[in-house]
Amino acid sequence: VLESGEWWYGDRVATFEKEFAAFQDAKHCITCTSGTTAAEIAMRALDIGHGDEVIVPPFTFVATASTVAYVGATPIFVDTDESWCMDPTLIEATITPRTKAIMPVHFGGRICDIDAVQAIADKHNLKFIEDACHSWGSKWKGKGTGALGHCGVFSFQASKNLNAGEGGAILTDDDALAERCRSIINCGRSETGPWHHHVNIGTNARLTEFAGALLSAQFSRLEEQNAIRNRNAAILDDGLAGIPGLTPQPGDDRISHRAYHLYCLRFDAAQYGCSRDKFLEAIAAEGIELFPGYAVPLYEQPCFLNSDLPHDYSSDNCPDTAALCAREALCFTQAILLGTEDDMQDIITALTKIQAHAEALAE
C-alpha cells in the first residue's frame, strides 16, 4: 500500500469487504473506522435519533449504549440472563411507542437468542441491530452474525480476533440500507453522483487502504485461529467441569459455530470457597491473566447518570448484570485462547490448586 501510492480508494478495502461479507453470509459489508462509528452510522441510516429509544444490554462495552445516546436517542437497558446476553423474556416489558430498535450483544462471541429477539422485533415492528463486535465467524443455524438481524456491526480494534488496530464494519442484506450507510460514511456522497454532490448529511469514516490490507492479511488466518480457540475452549470446558463454583458461559444448540472472543466463567463464591477478589489475587500470583469483566452495569456509568436523556438511570436495576459485575464474571481474552494445549492444562491446574486452598484464602 505504501509504495502503491493508493492510500485510499484502492482495491484493498473493497477486497476485504467482499471477503468478510461472504464469510459472514451477508450481502453487503461496509467498512468504517471503528465498531463505535459502525453502530452510530447504522442507527443514523435507520433514522434513529431524538425521541427514539433503543433497547440494549447493560453488561457490555460502553459503546453499545453510548452510540445510541450519541445519535440523540435514549438507551433502555434490559438485563442479561445465564447466557451473558440480553434476556429476551424481559424485552417486551420495556417497549414503548418510542422504541425503534433492539441491539443485543453476542457477548464473547456467544450468539444471543436470535429467534426470540427477531420474533419480538417482528411483532412490534422494530429494527434488530446486532452488536456483533465480538463475533467474527459465529453462526446461528448456519448463518453468520451480522446477517441475522436487519444489520450488524463489527469492530476490528486492537483487542479483537480480527484487527487492524482500529476499524469497523456494518453488515446487512438490505440494499437500500447498505447504500445509505456507504453514503453517510463517505461525506454523504452518492455512489454514482459527481464528487461534490452530497445526497445525505454524512461524515468521513472511511477505512484507509492500510487498514484494508491488514484486515485481509489477518482474515486469511482467522479460521485457523478460531479453530485453535475452539479446541482450547473445549479443553477448558472439560478440565473445569470438575471444579465447583466455576460455570462456563453456556452455549445453545442453534449456534452452529461459536467463535470465542472471550472465554467466560461465572464464579460462585459459596461453592468455590472464597470471594472473587481473593480468587483473582491468587490467580494473578499463579501468573495467569484473567479479568473480571465490567466493574458496573452501564446504567451506573456517570455518562448516563449525569446525562440529560429522558430516562432516570438511577432507578434502573438489572440483577443478573449487577451480580456479574460485582462478584461473578471472569473472562479469559481471545489471546489466551491462542495458547498451546499445555497452556490450557496450566490454567486448569492453577484453578484446581486455588480451589483446594480456597478456605485458607477466605480467612
Least CB distance to ligand PLP at residue 7 (A): 21
- Assess 163 for contact with ligand PLP (CB under 6 A): no
Closest CA relative to residue 96, chosen from 146, 128, 51: 51
Q: Which is nearer to ligand PLP, 64 or 200 (CB)?
A: 64
Give the cell for residue 352. 484446581
Please report where in the chains the cell 440483577 appears, as a residue: 319
Please report where in the chains the cell 486469511 appears, as a residue: 220
User: CA 310, 318, 294 angle in degrees (round to 5)?
Assistant: 95
Written in H, E and C, the secondary structure of 39-96 is HHHHHHHCCCCCCCEEEECCCCCCHHHHHHHHCCCEEEECCECCCCCECHHHCHHHCC
- Assess 60 for contact with ligand PLP (CB under 6 A): yes
Q: Which stretch binds ligand PLP (CB under 6 A): 33-41, 193-201, 287-295, 336-344?
A: 33-41
Closest CA relative to residue 257, chosen from 109, 129, 133: 109
Q: Which is nearer to ligand PLP, 59 or 272 (CB)?
A: 59
| Range 172-211, binding ligand PLP (CB under 6 A) | none
DSSP, res 312: -
Query: Binding ligand PLP by CB under 6 A: which of 74, 157, 321, 334?
Result: 157
- Assess 301 for contact with ligand PLP (CB under 6 A): no
Question: According to DSSP H, which parts of the chain are helical?
Answer: 12-23, 35-45, 63-70, 114-123, 175-185, 209-240, 269-272, 276-285, 302-305, 319-323, 341-356, 358-362
Q: Which is nearer to ligand PLP, 186 or 334 (CB)?
A: 334
Q: Which is nearer to ligand PLP, 155 or 216 (CB)?
A: 155
Ranked by CB distance to ligand PLP, the top (closest) residue is 35
Contacts for 32 with CB less than 8 Å, ≥ 6 apart: 38, 41, 167, 168, 169, 170, 185, 205, 206, 207
- Assess 134 for contact with ligand PLP (CB under 6 A): yes
Q: Which stretch binds ligand PLP (CB under 6 A): 56-64, 224-232, 242-250, 315-323?
A: 56-64
| Range 332-361, binding ligand PLP (CB under 6 A) | none
- Assess 35 for contact with ligand PLP (CB under 6 A): yes
Cβ atoms of residues 83 and 56 within 8 Å: no
- Assess 131 for contact with ligand PLP (CB under 6 A): yes
Please report where in the chains the cell 484453578 appears, as a residue: 351
Q: Which is nearer to ligand PLP, 61 or 90 (CB)?
A: 61
Q: Which stretch binds ligand PLP (CB under 6 A): 31-39, 51-59, 80-88, 306-314?
A: 31-39
Q: Compute the distance between CA of residue 2 and CA of residue 345 in angstroms, rounded to an integer.
A: 43
Closest CA relative to residue 60, chosen from 153, 166, 172, 162: 153
Q: Which stretch binds ligand PLP (CB under 6 A): 21-29, 34-42, 279-287, 295-303?
A: 34-42
- The phi-psi region of residue 290 (left if phi > 0; otherwise alpha if psi is between -120 and 50; otherwise beta) is beta
- Assess 99 for contact with ligand PLP (CB under 6 A): no
Least CB distance to ligand PLP at residue 221 (A): 20
- Assess 152 for contact with ligand PLP (CB under 6 A): no
- Assess 79 for contact with ligand PLP (CB under 6 A): no
Residues that bind ligand PLP (CB under 6 A): 34-36, 60-61, 63-64, 105, 131, 133-134, 155, 157, 168
